[in-house]
């Protein structure tokens, strides 16, 4: 909608002697008997890739597929807690570097993932961040209605790993998959979800410049969502 049309409607509304009353009820939001199917449909329509990892024996193969499609040999993980939350078996390699303020990653020869993961630690430096080709984080929620994932920025968990690399893997628990936007906001508690929430639908794209679609302008070009139990 053009700027002139929007301003015209505002002028018409201000010219009325009696403004239209505000609605007293919230409109009905859509419900879906199969929210996973709806989420998959909407995510893939926006350019994302859905992976069903609810069966533990499929997890290694799905992660290997992500690595091959991202052309990566390393996965950089957001936190140890996310691996525990999504029941991904791992062992932290002993190191003098603290994992709390460093980069956690797993290396995979020939892009093949074997479980349990061996998690290594690197110092968090700008040069290392620039070299990351595949990162992984945990979604706070997913919304089936729009195929949207919700990231929470909390203490110790920034936004760099979710927006900087060209490929990003999001782990979403089935219990955190909500039906619609109303259900999402009814679950949110102000002050309890971290400093910010980011709603992401599909890979990054923009058409601001001469209406030409550009992928990866403000985030990853590839977005994988792995559903876990």
65-89 pLDDT per residue, tens:
999 999 999 999 999 999 999 999 9
Q: How many domains does the chain have?
A: 1
Structural domain includes residue 28: no
Structural domain includes residue 18: no
Does 142 score more than 90 pLDDT? Answer: yes
At 1 the pLDDT is 56
Structural domain includes residue 160: yes
Query: Residue 143: left if φ>0, alpha if ψ -120 to 50, beta else—which one?
Result: beta
Structural domain includes residue 1: no
Query: Residue 225: left if φ>0, alpha if ψ -120 to 50, beta else—which one?
Result: beta
pLDDT category of residue 58 using cuts at 50, 70 and 90: very high
Q: Nearest 5°: phi and psi at 134? A: -145, 125
pLDDT category of residue 161 using cuts at 50, 70 and 90: confident
Q: Which two tokens mark 108?
A: 């995979």
Does 217 score more than 70 pLDDT? Answer: no
90-129 tens-digit pLDDT: 999 977 666 666 899 999 999 999 999 999 998 888 778 8
Whole-number percent of the chain with pLDDT over 70: 87
Structural domain includes residue 138: yes
Range of the domain at 45: 34-228
Structural domain includes residue 202: yes
Which CATH number belongs to the domain containing residue 88 in this structure? 3.40.50.10420
Q: Please report which residue ranges of 31-187 form alpha helices under DSSP H.
A: 35-45, 59-70, 80-85, 126-131, 160-163, 181-187
Q: Nearest 5°: phi and psi at 90? A: -155, 165
Structural domain includes residue 29: no
* Contacts of 118 by beta carbon, 8 Å cutoff, 6+ apart: 90, 91, 93, 106, 107
Structural domain includes residue 2: no
């Amino acid at each position: 909608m053009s700027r002139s049309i929007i301003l015209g409607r505002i002028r018409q509304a201000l010219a009325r002697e009696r403004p239209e009353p505000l609605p007293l009820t919230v409109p009905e939001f859509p419900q879906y008997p199969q929210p996973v199917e709806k989420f998959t449909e909407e995510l893939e329509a926006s350019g994302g890739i859905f992976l069903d990892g609810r069966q533990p024996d499929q997890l290694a193969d799905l992660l290997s597929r992500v690595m091959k499609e991202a052309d990566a040999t390393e996965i950089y993980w957001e936190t140890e807690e996310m691996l525990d939350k999504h029941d991904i078996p791992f062992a932290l390699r002993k190191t003098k570097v603290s994992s709390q303020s460093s980069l956690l990653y797993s290396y995979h020869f020939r892009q093949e993932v074997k479980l349990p993961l061996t998690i290594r630690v690197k110092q968090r430096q700008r040069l290392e961040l620039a070299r990351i080709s595949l990162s992984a984080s945990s979604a706070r929620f997913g919304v089936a209605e729009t195929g949207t994932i919700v990231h929470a920025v909390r203490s110790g968990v920034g936004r760099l790993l979710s927006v900087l690399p060209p490929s990003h893997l999001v782990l979403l628990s089935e219990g955190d998959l909500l039906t619609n936007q109303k259900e999402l906001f009814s679950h949110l508690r102000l002050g309890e979800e971290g400093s910010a929430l980011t709603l992401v639908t599909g890979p990054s794209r923009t058409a601001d410049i001469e209406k030409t679609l550009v992928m990866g302008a403000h985030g990853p070009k590839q977005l994988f969502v792995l559903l876990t139990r």
